[in-house]
Structure formats: C-alpha cells, structure tokens
Amino acid sequence: MSASPYSPSRPRRLIVVVGTATEIGKTWVASRLLRELRAEGFSVAARKPAQSFSPDDSATDAHHLSNATGEEVTDVCPRHRWFPIPMAPPMAADALGRAPFTIAELAAEISWPLPAPDIAMVECAGGVRSPHAVDGDAISLIEELQPDLVLLVADAGLGTINSVRLSLEAIDRGSHVATPIVVLNRFDPAEDLHRRNRDWLEAHLDVDVLSSVPAVLNRLRPGENPHFSDLSAR
C-alpha cells in the first residue's frame, strides 16, 4: 500500500484568516496572498473547514482557494462540509437535515500535503463570532488550531473601527496566539474616510493595520515577521 500524500502534521507556518463580518473579502485576500506566495516559490495550501453558499453560486470559496494553491477543491473543503444554503455552517447543516458536528471534528478533518507546505491558510466562515459548529465559532477554531498568525480582514469604510475593535477583543479574550494583523480590504487611498479609519486604528490599537495585499505580503516574507523569520522560498 502506498503512503498517503496527506498528513495531519502541521505546516511550517499556519495562518488563520478571519473577518469582522461575512462578505468582507476574506477569500479574496487569502487567495491573492496564496497566489503571490506560490509565485515567489513558497509551497502553499489552503483549507476551508466548512462552507455554506447560495446554490446559484457558480464558484464557492473552496474553488477560489483551490485555484490559488493548485489543490483539488475537495482537498480545500471536504465535500460533506459543503452546505448549499447561505447560513452559518451549523445552521445550514440543520436546515438541510445534516448531522451536527463539532469544532474538534472540523479540526480533525484538516490534513495537509506531504511534505508539509511552507505556508498554509485556514479560512473561517463569516465573522469572528459566527457559529462554525454546534459548540463553537471562529475563536473556538483558532483555539483548536493554535496558528502562528491570525489575519483579521475588515472593510475600510464606515463602521470598521467598531467592528475591528470588537473582533480584536473577542480574539484576545478567546485565544492564545500572536497578535493579529488587521487587513483593511477595499481600501481606497482617495477616500478620506478610509484614510481616517486607518489612521485612527493605527494610532489607537497595538496591532499592525495594513491596507493592501502587497503590504501584507511584505510582513509574511522572511525577516519581516518573527513568525516567518526562518522561512525561505525553496
């Protein structure tokens, strides 16, 4: 019998991508980062433990992530965790008559390519406190996975200061990981509100607040972030 090409062993660096809300652009940010890192020679992988979506969607989050990493879409999200109804995954499962599942079960289903990828991302569903299973939310999944880094994706516009602060408080109370990085998605430097939101967050929060994918990439490259200082492209 040949050895399995997948393993539960940990990637060299594990990043969890969370959002301040649903439809905030987590998948776009994660896919863009993974695509760029892959182009630079890093081995990458992505996982979406569970996904819910409209049955009219032509492509799911798992499709976008698999396109970025080159993996099979069912490796990114196992088929039995696809829920074609736009609700939080455990609610969607219940509405579809599927069996309930736990955070531990979702985490146990995550497996990685062999050899272990340089950088892997796990994208959560919805916002930080959105239910992910019958017994927990994104914070619970972060606690289970203990990633090296958390990326908190937020909108750049009206209301983002409140949503970022509340999300960071939830992450800080519920997990024991490195300080998150805030990513302001859809940031337009020509928009006065966007600039003022970024400046306020930078001045009042003890976290990095980045407003472009290239800026995030710079923090993920060797030498820029202590969690990635020993990582070099192969």
What angle (nearest 5°) sits at the alpha carbon of residue 77, between those of residues 63 and 91? 105
Q: Which residue has the tokens 């203990």?
A: 146
- Residue pair 106/50 in contact (Cβ under 8 Å)? The answer is yes
Residue 4: Cβ-neighbour burial (10 angstroms; 0-12, 13-18, 19+): exposed
Q: Provide the token pair at 201.
A: 């967050």
Torsion-angle region of 20 (φ positive above 0: left; ψ -120 to 50: alpha; else: beta) = alpha
CB 143 within 8 A of CB 177: no
Tokens at 112, concatenated: 């990685």
Catalytic residue, from 13, 38, 47, 48: name it. 48
CA distance 116 to 11: 5
| CB-based contact 147:122 (threshold 8 Å) | yes
Cross-strand bridge partners of residue 149: 15
Q: Does residue 26 have an active-site annotation?
A: no
**Which residue, 143, 119, 120, is CA-closest to 133?**
143
Contacts (Cβ under 8 Å, ≥6 apart) of 171: 18, 128, 139, 142, 150, 152, 177, 180
Q: Which residues are catalytic?
A: 48
